[in-house]
Structure 1
């Protein structure tokens, strides 16, 4: 089997991207058994990197803005049986590729797997930040392996986008949906913190009969800069995440909530301001903005 590592990037922070590449350079998995694909998602200036250390690398360009479009471009260029999605601020543990290969070989029914995403803070975080780790793509579910199949709801053990490992065969249903012109969950863009593209992939894989799972031996560090620890950023992030989540579930036909009109959403947001005591501290304000995103998602979907 052969692995394709895909790193989408847009106007990357050079130091973080270099750390991500250094983590890949130090992988225990043989270099000639995996390829490296950097997807430049319309950066200005274009991404230029010295990748001479890797015998099988390429930098491709995807002009359509959005993380999902960049990932799809990577999938279309990948030659591997296994695809590993790495963000440009992820540092994989040196055995990540090897462990991913071993897990798939030992579990032929798995279509997507992920593991632990541990924060590497560039500055001291506020004491309350841990409340929002999941929104920052940070998680640690412990030392036990957890796997599941499709049960008509999104499983807690499903892999997150950072470090997600996919069997190319299992991606077939998702790629078929995309090629047939179905709605694409576009995920992050230059001006939006929307999300859900990785969840959309997982749902399609589950619905086509594959299992997914959490494996603690898959370990990465996620670099968190000071800008992502600020109240304003986290409020926008949680708003966009919750709104996107409603829209994703509606798109997949598994939305459990009734839609509401815009006036009802406005009233719920006003009520929520007091219910969350949003004026008291950053945590309550951020949670309130997350609730606002949920209500606006219910008001916006068709």
Structure 2
């Protein structure tokens, strides 16, 4: 495995108006316990903020003892993907850890990630689990949508036939959560060399909540030939601000997934249905018919009507299936072309991966 960066950890934080969230995040980072001699750093990318995120972060880091360098950058183009790509380019070390500005890492987090990535060269991405912390009392409805908020244990499968993954190991089905995600820099460089182009924009501030970039990254790295790993020993706390715990915010975060579902389905079909040639129109027509039958089933419609007049989160989850169907229909022609583009990228990446490991 070819590495051009030295062994160590670059913590990547991308923030938009995160001045009020960054202080505890940096405080937890400053308490990381690593074996003497393991170098690490913090790369902070301000993604078009209008507050004093960088100035506050620099002051906080100094107050917490500045155990390693904190290197701030500004990305004027809105969108989390653009901020992350800048962070990848600026990272000095081979192992990168993506930390959101509301993530509080356990004090052994970086050490656990460093050890696993050092022992297993085939790991391209490594993720863990999270628990929630709340600025206000946790709403009763929150457990129903906790995974939409990146809280809890991701639903991941391994083996053939697939079984739920509950211990450390490689993943055969599912995608890792972006919060606290470790990425090998060699995997990112390989994707760049293979001309990987994201099908998503990522979140843009609080106005556009389109996410899915962590799912896309998981699928892309796996398609390139690397292994994707999960370990429960990686644990962080995801802090929920009160403005994200309102009944007005929930529909936005739930419906944001319907906007990316169709584009991410391209990756899923390549990863799990590689024997079917989705560069042709017929398989997509077949899938659309199946999705239509499932979405408009009598059971689904009756449940939808039953919950329609209740103030219930489950109503939103069923409504989401209709949004997915609409977006699938709207992006039908574009999706097949996206499939061809991603498949070509996969072929280039696999050749590069094979060449790097001979």
- TM norm structure 2: 0.73
Of 276-285 and 79-88, the range deviating more from structure 2: 276-285
Counterpart residue number, 1:182: 197
The whole-number CA distance in structure 1 between the counterparts of 2:196 and 2:186 is 20
Deviation at residue 173 of structure 1 after TM alignment? 3.3
After the TM superposition, which residues 14-29 of structure 1 pair with which residues of structure 2 at under 5 Å, given as runs?
Answer: 14-29=19-34
Q: Does 1:4 align with 2:10?
A: yes
Supply the distance in 2 between the matched residues of 1:242 and 1:19 (Cα, whole angstroms).
32
Tell me what 1:275 maps to.
303
Aligned residue-pair number: 291
CA contact (8 A) 2:191 2:224 kept: no
- What residue number does 1:42 align with? 48
Map 1:143-154 to 2 at 5 A: 144-148=166-170
**Structure 1 unaligned blocks of 5 or more:** none
Deviation sequence 1:21-59 (CA, Å, 0-9, x none): 001000002597101000000111352122331442211
Deviation at 1:129, TM superposition (A): 1.2
- Please state whether the residue corresponding to 1:295 is helix, strand or coil: helix
Sort the Cα spacing of 1:41 and 1:239 in 2 relative to 1 into closer, same or farther, 3 A. Answer: same
Structure with greater proportional helix content? 2
Alpha-carbon deviation of 1:93? 0.2
**Contact kept? 2:220, 2:267, Cα under 8 Å:** no
- C-alpha distance in 2, partners of 1:288/1:279? 13
Q: CA deviation at 1:209?
A: 1.4
1:172-191 deviation line (CA, Å, top 9, x unaligned): 233335xx473442111122
Larger radius of gyration: 2
Tell me, what secondary structure is at the counterpart of 1:217? strand
- Structure 2 counterpart of 1:195: 211
Q: Does 1:205 align with 2:233?
A: no
Residues 235 and 285 in structure 1, CA contact (< 8 A), matched pair in contact too: no
Indicate yes or no: 2:261 matched with 1:233.
no
Q: Return closer, same or farther for 1:133/1:257 CA change in 2, 3 Å cut-off.
A: farther
Moved over 4 A (4+): 251-261, 271-274
Distance 1:213 1:281, change over 3 A: same
- Helix, strand or coil for the counterpart of 1:231? coil
1:217–1:123 distance in 2 versus 1, CA, 3 Å: same
From the superposition, tell whether residues 45 and 232 of structure 1 become closer, same or farther in structure 2 (CA, over 3 Å). closer
> Any idea what SS the aligned residue of 2:220 has?
helix
Q: Return the alpha-carbon distance in structure 2 between the equivalents of residues 184 and 247 of structure 1.
A: 7
Contact 1:24 1:92 in 2 (8 A): yes
What are the Cα deviations for residues 180-212 of structure 1, in whole angstroms up to 9, with x where unaligned?
Answer: 473442111122111111111111211121111
Separation of aligned partners in 2, 1:68 and 1:274:
39
CA RMSD in angstroms comes to 2.9
**Is the 1:268–1:295 contact (alpha carbons within 8 Å) kept by the matching residues of 2?**
no
Measured against aligned partners, the alpha-carbon deviations of 1:48-89 in whole angstroms (never above 9, x if no partner) come to: 122331442211011111111111110010111100000000
Q: 1:183 to 1:86 in 2, by over 3 A?
A: closer
Cα distance change on mapping 1:149 and 1:251 into 2, 3 Å: closer
Structure-1 separation of matches of 2:89 and 2:199 = 15
Write the distance in 2 (CA, Å) between the matches of 1:244 and 1:282.
24
CA distance in 2, matches of 1:143, 1:272: 29
Tell whether the 8 Å contact from 2:254 to 2:320 is kept in structure 1 after alignment: yes
Q: Which whole-Å CA distance do the structure 2 matches of 1:83 and 1:72 have between them? A: 12
